[in-house]
Amino acid sequence: MKIGFIGTGVMGESMARHLMEKGHQVTVFNRTKEKAEKLLAEGASWAESAGECAKGQDAVITIVGFPKDVEEVYLGQGGVLDCADRGALVVDMTTTSPKLWQSIAAKAREKGLRPLDAPVSGGDSGARNATLSIMVGGAEEDFRLCLPLFECMGTNVVLTGQSGCGQYTKMANQIAIAGTLAGVAEAMSYGEKCGLDLENMLGCISGGAAGSWQMSNNGQKMVLGDEAPGFYIKHFVKDMKIAMEEGESIGCKLPVLAQVLKANLDLMAEGKGELGTQALLEWYREGSLNNR
């Protein structure tokens, strides 16, 4: 297929590469061209704008930063909805507002496009290894058309419902991650204060009922002092804010999420938003959920 891929950051670069490796013709656009240079050297074509990237493609895939970026890419003058060919798949893999995507999807259908929201989970390692979980919302026929592309990038691909359901499912995912990540950081902080060998402790407890992806991946990074972003704190804060807003709109209490959001906002205020989410351990080293 001919694919326009918009957003070649920490995850997008690997995702686009997997599509190329499976023989798809990929044209890329990123606001910072330097972040696309590796893909261009490997055979991707370059577009000068999001709209240009969308023209003449069978599918347009986006994975950008924030809801405002999604809105600009799709609804801005000369954006994806203005330029994509009738009948094309338009697939947003950003984690964004479900209500925003439902609005974009409605406009896309009016233009004869096939919209899918398909946020992902698995971090930079999942993107590199093509093992992402992909949560898809949209029409089943469109999902089936796009499934071969999803299978280039992930191993757990699920149609969750109509437009917006992928984003709602991703919010549930982020709520679960918030509590799990905080639990790992809290256990690490406790182990440190007890004088335990953290690598030994991690190896011991990760094989039992406490085991999780967060423990095996971010826990190991905490042990090593590796705070490089597989997933940025600033993006996790964005996701948690969306989840809180959605929860409040339906009267759903999310007290654990609220606590973890506050902790990450504290780290943001300290200028640590560009660190990976495993840097939450720093917050525990400085205090606790109870005494802040």
68 is catalytic: no
Burial call 186-203: b when 16+ CB within 10 Å, e when fewer: bbbbebeeeeeebeebbe
Catalytic residue among 170, 234, 238, 272: 170
Neighbours of 175 (CB within 10 A): 21
H-type helices in 111-254, by residue range? 123-129, 140-153, 165-193, 198-205, 213-214, 220-224, 233-249
Q: Which long-range contacts (CB under 8 A, 24 or more apart) does 42-49 make?
A: 42/17, 44/5, 44/16, 44/20, 47/4, 49/78
Rounded to 5°, angle at Cα 80 from 78 and 84: 105
Catalytic residues: 170
